[in-house]
Amino acid sequence: MTEKDIQKMLFEKQDKEYRDFQAKLIPDENGELKTDSMIGVRTPDLRSLAKALARDPGVSGFLSALPHKYFDENQLH
Those residues whose C-beta lies under 8 Å from the C-beta of residue 46, and which sit 6 or more positions away, are 72, 75, 76
SS3 content of the chain, % helix, strand, coil (to 5): 65, 0, 35
pTM: predicted TM-score of the whole model, two decimal places: 0.83
pLDDT of 33: 64
pLDDT of 13: 96
- Note whether 28 and 34 are within 8 A (CB): yes
What pLDDT, in 10s, does the model give residues 1-21? 788 889 999 999 999 999 999
Distance CA 44, CA 57 (A): 22
Q: Is 10 exposed, middle or buried (0-12, 13-18, 19+ CB in 10 A)?
A: buried
